[in-house]
Structures are given as C-alpha cells and as structure tokens.
A = this chain, B = another copy of it.
Amino acid sequence: MGEFDVIAQYFTRPPKRALLAGGDDCALLQPNQGMVQCISSDMLIEGRHFLSTVSPYRLGVKALAVNLSDLAACGATPTAFTLAISLPEINISWLESFSNGLWDTADEYSIDLIGGDTTKGPLSICITVFGETPANEVLLRSGAKLGDDIYVSGTLGDARLALEVFRGSQSLDRESFERVRMRLEQPTPRINLGVALRRIANSCIDISDGLVGDLGHILKRSNVGATLSTDWIHESAAITQDLQRLEVHKRLDYVLSGGDDYELLFTASPHLREQVAIASHKSLTPVTRIGLVSAELGLKLLDLKGEIMSQQFSSFDHFHAA
C-alpha cells in the first residue's frame, strides 16, 4: 500500500460543502458572502502532545478536536480541514481506527476533510481547520473591557489529573480514571457555545496551556488586568467530584495551570449575564463566573478570605516543559 492508496482508502470522502476535496493539487472552497474566514493550524507530535499508548481512534478525535477548539474560541462555525500526517509505517489497523476517530468528529460538526499530505517519518499530525463567522462578530482575545465578568465553560483540571495518573503521581479508581481520561483523550470543542456567544462575549480564548497562562493572553492583548476568585475551585459546576477529592494545593494547580482543558475562557459585560446564561443553556454547556476584568494590569488571585494569594501558577511552554 503506497502513499496515494493510504489517502484514497482512509482520508478521502465526497465533500458536503467544499467544491473539491482531494485528488487535485488544491482543494477548493467557496466562501459564503459577508463571512470572515477563521483559520487555525496545530501540530501534534508523538510523545509531546500525546502518549504513544493512546488509542488511535481517540487520537483521531483529539487531533481534530483541539483544532476545532480554536475555531470555537473565535465563535466560528467550522467548515473544513486539511490533514498532513507523517507515519513511521503503514499500519492498516492503526490507520483504520485513527481515520474513524477523525471522521466521527468531522461528522459531528458536518465538516469536510478537503486535502493534505501523507508521508513517512516520525508520527506527527498537522491539521489546519477552517470556519467562518459573520463579519464583525468574530470573538477575539483583544476585546476584554474594564468591568467584564470572566467565565469558563465546562470543567477544568480533569485532563491534568488523568496525565498525573499516567505519570504515576496520582491514583484513581477505575471509574474516575476513565472519566478524566476521556477528558484528556477526547476533549469536546465548545463550538456551540462559541457560536452562541457571538455579540455577547467581548473576548474569548480556548484553554489549552492552562487557565492562568491563557487568561494572560486575553489580558495582554486587551491591555487590562483581572481579579480571579478561587472559591469556585472548591465547589462549582467547573469542578468535577474527581477534582474535589484532591488536596487543595494540587486542585488549585491542576485547575489554574493544568492545560489540555479545551474549555472556553471568555469575558462579557455584567449587563449581559442573562444572555450568557441563555447561551450556556442553548449550547448545553455549563459556564461558571470566576472573576472580573480590572484596570490594574496583571492577574490577582484571591483566596477564600478575599486576600491576594502569593502562590505562582505557570503556563505550559513546549520548549521548557519536561
């Protein structure tokens, strides 16, 4: 089985929206009028972004999901993606499972795989995703306003807890482990919430490197500061029972700088709290209010007594991480 057979067998299906997907030098998309096109590209490397033990099906899901999560952060409706993949060998059962994970995720969002590349080399996956939003409704990191509420979607820290179990620094019962492992290996891109937050959120980012680091991007781009409470880390919709069982300092660490959450972190005017609640309800995605945008630059974390915490939380950097 050669390069072209692999593409034909596992990575080709008739497109639903694209004018042409595969089989030529380029794929062809016809953008909808009046829409802005949102584009994001991510590379996943074995041993760096995923464990070599992960099931190929789940890897297919995750590779696409983490890219879709970037579209969600912009409030975009996904339309298509390309896949460039480097494989050490042609392993039929691996390719079948991986492509099934990819197609199942693509189907969930009705998007086309429009092209790409297959080559021999160390296992790495490069996906570029395309989406669109009406002009002027795109959500950006740079729009946070003084006085905005700060929210997170879903739950935080679960993926990091799963990673620590893999690393052997934590243990969990089987049922809990399966739950957090799903969060690590098959994150849910918050596409529906992102779309529902158009014209409501002032700024938005997806949490991939940890809450503190990613909030830092919003603050820097928006030229504002923030104050975060931490009471919600002890009990709220954003904390699963698996996290609640952890010692406090670990829970804080996993939630604030765990990474791999792929939840949305966004800000919105306090006048729009009801609209945020409606967006959450419409998209079937819980959201939790965790802080306020302030004029003073930098990020302040408040403990349960409302005093500034001294503990530092870092964000993930691919060149400095172990």
Question: Which residues from chain A sit less than 8 Å from chain B, CB to CB?
Answer: 1-4, 6, 19-20, 23-31, 33, 36-43, 45, 47-49, 70-71, 73-74, 76, 82-86, 90, 114-122, 124, 126, 128, 130-131, 135, 138, 140-142, 204-206, 221, 317-320
Contacts and interface: CB of A to CB of B under 8 A. Distances in A.
22 contacts: A2-B317, A2-B320, A3-B318, A23-B141, A24-B142, A25-B205, A26-B70, A26-B71, A27-B38, A29-B36, A29-B39, A31-B31, A33-B33, A39-B115, A43-B86, A43-B117, A45-B120, A45-B121, A48-B121, A49-B119, A84-B126, A122-B124
Contacts of A47: 121
Contact of A28 (B38, B70, B73): B38
A178 to B, nearest CB: 28
A131 B317 CA distance: 32
Nearest to A133: B28
Nearest to A85: B43
Stoichiometry, copies per complex = 2
A128 B41 contact: yes
Contacts of A204: 25
A195 B320 CA distance: 45
A20 B90 CA distance: 38
B86 A41 contact: no
Nearest to A82: B41
A117 B42 contact: yes
Contacts of A37: 28-31, 37
A85 B318 CA distance: 12
A209 to B, nearest CB: 9
Contacts of A124: 43, 86, 121-122, 124
B3 A27 contact: no
B24 A74 contact: yes
A318 B118 contact: yes
A141 B206 contact: no
Given A30-B135, A39-B114, A320-B2, A141 B25 contact: yes
A3 B319 contact: yes
Given A31-B31, A39-B82, A84-B42, A73 B119 contact: no
A36 B48 contact: no
B38 A141 contact: no
A35 B273 CA distance: 41
Given A124-B86, A319-B3, A40 B23 contact: no
A311 to B, nearest CB: 21
A52 to B, nearest CB: 13
A16 B31 CA distance: 20
B36 A19 contact: yes
Contact of A119 (B31, B43, B86, B118): B43
Contacts of A49: 119
Contacts of A1: 319
Nearest to A74: B26
B40 A119 contact: no
